[in-house]
Structure 1
Amino acid sequence: MSKIKDYFANKTNKSVFVPFFTLGDPHYEASVKYGQTILDSGADILELGIPFSDPVADGPVIQRAVARALKNPFDFAKIFQTTKQIHSHKPDRPLVYLTYFNPIYHCGVASFLDQAKDSGVEGLVIPDLPFDTQESEDLFAALEKRDMDLIHLITPATTKRRVQALKKTSSGFIYYVTSFGVTGERREFSLDLEERIRSLKEILQLPICAGFGISSPEQASQIAHYADGIIIGSAIQRIIEESGADTVACCQKLSEYCLSIRNSFP
């Protein structure tokens, strides 16, 4: 059993909190403090973004974060070192990378996975990796050997036939995209969101975590009644952006925000 699957099986709350932020924004020393603060403030699973020059699934807030992060020299060693420092703070909390496939390919799949696992990462979310390719199957097999998970994204446009086919290379949990488009904070969600999430859970027999657009405690509370997890990225990244170089103030704001989300869960 993977660490992520085990975490969901033994969770004490109805829903888990999965915050996200981009590593290296504004620099890697700050990322360590931000990650540790978020873990101290209610995160169950922490999703870390690897900076990439073409983040096609992300909206303007995260795109700007990536641009700021890439002003620092990109270095895989720094990525893994920063991740390991965050992980060592609370080693019982699973870490997940959100990354596009190019960095994995550039590093070398086996090398990337070995270093990621050694840094405390238990799963990967790869927005630009089609599930029905040889690359996906090979990556899934490589992850399985390391007790790591391949976490697929499903959108409102994903057909039932495609959902069934996703079973072959899905593990850990499903990242359900609550609305069409890229990441970003939204006010409203589709009326059939609960129905869709319950249906996916029944078909795939995996936890379903909802993301893309969730930002307020009220939204989180509502969706946490039927989703296994709540993923929040843009709202957290906005706090980092607005705090600029003031790491202390940013940590305080991150703590207050994450606690407000965590405490809203049923």
Structure 2
Amino acid sequence: MSKIKDYFEKKTVQSVFVPFFTLGDPDYKASVEYGKAILESGADILELGIPFSDPVADGPVIQRAVARSLKNSFSFDQIFATTKAIHDHRPEKPLVYLTYFNPIYHCGIPNFLDKAKVSGIEGLVIPDLPFDTEESKILFSELRKRDMDLIHLVTPATPKKRIQSMKKTSSGFIYYVTSFGVTGERREFSIDLEDRIKFLKKNLELPICAGFGISTPEQASQIAHYADGIIIGSAIQRIIEENGENVSKCADVLREYSKSIRGSFS
């Protein structure tokens, strides 16, 4: 059983909190401190972004974070060392990479997965990897050998037939994209969001975590009533952008998100 699956089965809250930030922003030393602070501020699962030069699924806030990160010296050794330092702080909490397929392919799939696993990574989110390709099947097979998860994204435009087919190579949880377009903070969501999430949960038999655009504690609280997890990325990345190495500011805001997600069920 994967650590993520075990975490969801044993969770004592209705909805888990899944924050995201880009490794190396503003630098790798600060990333370790941000990771530790986020884990201490109520995060259940932490999603870490590997900086990549062509982040096609990311909006302007995260694109700027990636650009800042890539100004630092990049190496996979630095990525894995930073990840492990974050993991070792709270090893009971699963870590997930959000990355594109090119870095994994460049590093070599088995080599990348072995080093990621040792660093504390329990699953991968890969926005540019279609679920039904030969690469996806190979990756899923290699992940299963290591009890790691391939976390697929589902969007409002994903056909129902395609959703059914995802069962073959999906594990851990499903990352549900709450709205069309790239990542970024939004004011409103579709009126049928709850129905879509319930449909996915019934048909894929996996926890559904909602992300892309959830930017306020109030929005997080509302969606937490029917989603198994709430993913917050751009809102956190904006705080890092505005405060640099002032980790305490980020921790204060994260605690508000955590309280809002859990407070809906107290």
User: Normalising by the residue count of structure 1, what TM-score does the alignment of the two structures yield?
Assistant: 0.98
CA distance in 2, matches of 1:84, 1:128: 25
* Structure 2 counterpart of 1:264: 260
Structure 1 unaligned spans of 5+: none
Tell me, yes or no, if structure 1 residue 253 matches structure 2 residue 249. Answer: yes
CA distance in 1, matches of 2:250, 2:173: 25
* Structure 1 counterpart of 2:74: 74
* Map 1:146-161 → 2, pairs under 5 A: 146-161=146-161
CA distance in 2, matches of 1:147, 1:224: 27
* Structure 1 counterpart of 2:204: 204
Q: How far 1:73 moved relative to its partner?
A: 1.4
CA distance in 2, matches of 1:217, 1:26: 24
Q: How far 1:215 moved relative to its partner?
A: 1.1
CA distance in 2, matches of 1:209, 1:257: 20
CA distance in 2, matches of 1:141, 1:103: 18
CA distance in 1, matches of 2:123, 2:107: 17
Aligned-partner residue type, residue 240 of structure 2 = I
Question: What SS does the corresponding residue of 1:19 show, helix, strand or coil?
Answer: strand
CA distance in 1, matches of 2:96, 2:19: 10
Question: What SS does the corresponding residue of 1:52 show, helix, strand or coil?
Answer: coil
Question: What SS does the corresponding residue of 2:260 show, helix, strand or coil?
Answer: coil
* Map 1:72-111 → 2, pairs under 5 A: 72-111=72-111
**Deviations along 1:55-104, whole A, 9 cap, x unmatched?**
00000000000000000111000000000000000000000000000000
Aligned-partner residue type, residue 248 of structure 2 = Q
State the Cα RMSD in Å.
Answer: 0.5
CA distance in 2, matches of 1:69, 1:179: 27
CA distance in 1, matches of 2:260, 2:71: 36
Moved over 6 A (4+): none
Question: What SS does the corresponding residue of 1:18 show, helix, strand or coil?
Answer: strand
Q: How far 1:254 moved relative to its partner?
A: 1.1
CA distance in 1, matches of 2:71, 2:254: 27
* Structure 1 counterpart of 2:25: 25
* Map 1:166-177 → 2, pairs under 5 A: 166-177=166-177
Aligned-partner residue type, residue 251 of structure 1 = V
Q: How far 1:26 moved relative to its partner?
A: 1.1
CA distance in 2, matches of 1:253, 1:147: 35
Tell me, yes or no, if structure 1 residue 127 matches structure 2 residue 123. Answer: no
Worse overlay, 256-265 or 41-50: 256-265
* Structure 2 counterpart of 1:233: 233
* Structure 1 counterpart of 2:43: 43
CA distance in 1, matches of 2:41, 2:144: 30
Tell me, yes or no, if structure 1 residue 216 matches structure 2 residue 212. Answer: no
CA distance in 2, matches of 1:254, 1:208: 25
Aligned-partner residue type, residue 106 of structure 1 = H
Identity over aligned residues, as a percent? 76
CA distance in 1, matches of 2:83, 2:248: 21
| Corresponding pairs, count | 262
Question: What SS does the corresponding residue of 2:122 show, helix, strand or coil?
Answer: strand
CA distance in 1, matches of 2:260, 2:184: 20
User: Normalising by the residue count of structure 2, what TM-score does the alignment of the two structures yield?
Assistant: 0.98
* Structure 1 counterpart of 2:59: 59
CA distance in 2, matches of 1:2, 1:66: 29
